[in-house]
Structure 1
Amino acid sequence: MIRRFLRRTLATLSLLVATLPIGAAATAAPALSLPRPTGPYAVGTTWLHLTDPTRADPWRPEVRRELMVSLWYPARPGTGPAAPYTTAAVSSRIVAAEGLPLPPDVLTTVATNARRDVPVRAPAGRGWPLVVLSPGFSLSRESLTGLAEDLAARGYVVAGVDHPYEARGVEFPDGRVAECLACELSGVLPRVVEGRAADVSFLLDRLTGDRPAWRGARYLDRHRIAVVGHSIGGASAAHLLTTDRRVDAAADLDGTLFVPVAAARPLLLVGADRPADASWVRDWPGLTGWKRWLAVAGSGHMSFTDRPVLGAQLGLDPGAIPADRQLLITREYVAAFLDVHLRRRDRALLDGPSPAFPEVTRTY
């Protein structure tokens, strides 16, 4: 199912780019940027490279499992260097994989709203809640930057995880690039879900353990943790409710549950505009805690990522919902879910139809 959605999206992008003047897209691209976050805090970001010495990589068993992580966080007011969206190596692989006549480094030109390696803002009371983001299959961590920046501006520390060999490209600090080995295999999606859950659990060890890998970890509240994912990242977020007791809540953004889920902790399911996912119907009775199933009319599989926003700036048709609004819907509903379950705030947005967002309906 994931590959079908990706093929459909890439075919649409290629068709639309073909309507541009010959040579125009290959030589220049419009200025690209992400919408400003809606929260009150300035946003900082930093990158981590982590190696799990206890686990072999599931796609390259001869090496230990490595992760690249972006952390977004509430930052102290002030100035600092603008944070890059991604690296030239990753950008070139995404452009090549999608077959678009764009400059290979086009994604390095995306203007973000975060400053790199600036100090973390100290929380007024308890530590900042932690949210882990896992991207879709073949996508990398930058694809959820628009959501991550917004959550950080609202007072969450956000850790976006790259899962090497499951994305078109993951670049390590020494210049090595992990290509998507899993993309060439069939029947591996349950294995991907389980491996990603192990990746996130290792990341939680390194952020909340006695010797954290990030100096800003002292500002974290280790007892308020959620995982949010897109596509197969959402499936792995849901799976973590059954494998890691530290995860208090999970949100699945249009991800088929390739591994069955039965859990008593909160789970939010947000689906694109299409018939109900059979795996969600299958597992719904076994979700015995707080649960919501929302559908977004006019949306597609990539609506929960940065792709519609950046695509629209390149002249591509975002579909039935304006691109910036697609991101706004994702930001508002994910933030409401996290506010309810990590901050114990009442957010009526999740309880029924909202005149502000008529596209969103509650399925169950």
Structure 2
Amino acid sequence: MRKRAIVAGALALTALAAPAATAEPGSVLPEPGGRYAVGVTELHLVDHARQDPWVPGAVRELMVTVRYPALPSGKPRAPYLPPGVAAAAAEEDGRLIGVDPAEFDYGFATHSRTGAPAFGHQPVLLHSPGAKQSRALGTAQAEHLASKGYVVVAIDHTHEAVAVEFPGGRVAGHAMPPRTIEVAKQMMATRVQDTSFVLDQLEVLARGGNPDAAHRRLPPGLGRALDLDRVGMFGHSGGGFTAGETMVTDRRVDAGANLDGSMAYHQENRDFGRVADEGLDRPFLLMSAGDHSAASDLSWQEFLRHHRAWVRQLHLPAGEHFGYTDQQVLAPRLGVDTTPFLGTVDPARSMASQRAYLTAFFDEHLKHRPQPLFDGPSPRHPDFEFRG
């Protein structure tokens, strides 16, 4: 039987001339659309000053994936998921939809070359996934942004994600207690601390150090590639909330994007995050889908009342929540009804528009290149409503 590809946990769900990227056939993900080849590496980061909030007696450990503009190389292409996470994801998704886990294939090749030499000196983008989800969920966006001249750092929030694989094959599973408002607040506080710690470790890397816990060899030029004077952040769902909350407390992040994430712990009680209650003084992009937008989300309304800088709202009426993840292009391959979580929008067209808007946002606010795309509705992106 032909194997199926689906996103992990989603159903739980310089001065030199730039090298041109070559097409990378064989991946089920859409090809990156920029001029650069894409390199990738992972970092195992340990915060010895912080206890893990979900596992007593353990220090906080994180895994991050770094994708970056790279020199063309014959390095191997990285798999979508490592074996331990792939197995856990297959079990989880198989249970949820009643399919034999053996039918799922999470080891397909991405367009990113493992350990390829880094190119240039580029702005940095942080990516946080949704609650309980893998950092791999944003791979299609990360590869495209890296090909456009950004270093993209995707963070797994350990013990919240279904599974996180560390060097040597050790796998940390989901260990959070059942969700309550207090647990949700602890989760968000942990995510914000994780993000700021990752930024700290990127500063070590940019200074010539190696923050990896085992000091594993890093791709040539990786530290020099990090321009930490230009930092942005984006995320889906809880990751979008994380981007806003991080910007409230960490001024190193210059611009942020929320992909369909509420900024509330409890809407009806008006128990909102600080980003909603206080707003921000730096650029922020809100992207929504289906019946979710500022028209229906009280926390977005509160954020817009308090926000003091550039802001735009883009809405995808024929989309749904998980359309802002790799599922937009992967899940339709399953042969099941994806309407409840992806909507009816054309997958390829939706992903192309998402990439265009997200790249334009960071190009305008981190590279200071004016983007007419944000002046009003675009006939090139008919699926999106422009809400100012």
TM-score of the pair, normalised by structure 2: 0.82
Q: Note if 1:181 corresponds to 2:175.
A: yes
AA aligned to 1:49 is H
**Following TM superposition, by how much is the alpha carbon of 1:351 offset from its aligned partner in structure 2, in angstroms?**
2.4
AA aligned to 1:357 is H
1:293 aligns with one of 313, 317, 334: 313
CA–CA distance in structure 1, aligned partners of residues 102 and 226 of structure 2? 37
Aligned to 2:110: 112
Q: State the Cα deviation string for residues 225-271 of structure 1 (Å, max 9, x = none).
A: 00111110110101111110110011010111131312101111111
Percent sequence identity is 40
AA aligned to 1:185 is R
Structure 2 CA distance for partners of 1:316 and 1:241, relative to 1, 3 Å: same
5 Å-filtered alignment, 1:1-364, equals: 10=11, 33-98=28-93, 99=95, 100=97, 101-104=99-102, 106-121=104-119, 123=120, 127-182=121-176, 184-187=178-181, 188-209=183-204, 210=207, 211-213=209-211, 216-258=222-264, 259-261=273-275, 262-275=279-292, 276-318=296-338, 319-364=343-388
CA–CA distance in structure 1, aligned partners of residues 38 and 250 of structure 2? 28
AA aligned to 2:134 is S
CA–CA distance in structure 2, aligned partners of residues 173 and 257 of structure 1? 34
**Following TM superposition, by how much is the alpha carbon of 1:331 offset from its aligned partner in structure 2, in angstroms?**
1.1
CA–CA distance in structure 2, aligned partners of residues 61 and 336 of structure 1? 43
Aligned to 1:4: none
Greater Cα shift, 180-189 or 76-85: 180-189
* Contact kept in structure 2, 1:85 and 1:108, CA below 8 Å: yes
AA aligned to 2:104 is V
* Contact kept in structure 2, 1:91 and 1:104, CA below 8 Å: no
CA–CA distance in structure 2, aligned partners of residues 212 and 326 of structure 1? 38
- Size of the alignment, in residue pairs? 335
Unaligned runs of 5+ in 1: 1-8, 14-30
TM-score of the pair, normalised by structure 1: 0.87
AA aligned to 1:60 is V
Q: State the Cα deviation string for residues 38-66 of structure 1 (Å, max 9, x = none).
A: 00111110111000111111212411111
Structure 2 CA distance for partners of 1:107 and 1:198, relative to 1, 3 Å: farther
* Contact kept in structure 2, 1:35 and 1:146, CA below 8 Å: yes
* Contact kept in structure 2, 1:193 and 1:233, CA below 8 Å: no
**Following TM superposition, by how much is the alpha carbon of 1:107 offset from its aligned partner in structure 2, in angstroms?**
4.0
* Contact kept in structure 1, 2:258 and 2:286, CA below 8 Å: yes
Greater Cα shift, 309-318 or 191-200: 309-318
CA–CA distance in structure 1, aligned partners of residues 328 and 348 of structure 2? 8
* Contact kept in structure 1, 2:350 and 2:383, CA below 8 Å: no
Structure 2 CA distance for partners of 1:251 and 1:174, relative to 1, 3 Å: same
Q: State the Cα deviation string for residues 126-175 of structure 1 (Å, max 9, x = none).
A: x2000010001111011100000000000100001100111111111132
**Following TM superposition, by how much is the alpha carbon of 1:216 offset from its aligned partner in structure 2, in angstroms?**
0.8
**Following TM superposition, by how much is the alpha carbon of 1:314 offset from its aligned partner in structure 2, in angstroms?**
2.4
AA aligned to 1:41 is Y
CA–CA distance in structure 1, aligned partners of residues 251 and 153 of structure 2? 18
Greater Cα shift, 232-241 or 267-276: 267-276
* Contact kept in structure 1, 2:72 and 2:116, CA below 8 Å: no
Aligned to 1:18: none
CA–CA distance in structure 1, aligned partners of residues 55 and 370 of structure 2? 45
CA–CA distance in structure 2, aligned partners of residues 306 and 183 of structure 1? 27
- Kindly report the root-mean-square deviation, in angstroms, between the aligned alpha carbons of the 2 structures: 2.1
Unaligned runs of 5+ in 2: 1-9, 14-25, 212-217, 265-272
Secondary structure of the corresponding residue to residue 110 of structure 2: coil
Runs (4+) of structure 1 moved beyond 4 Å? none
AA aligned to 2:147 is A
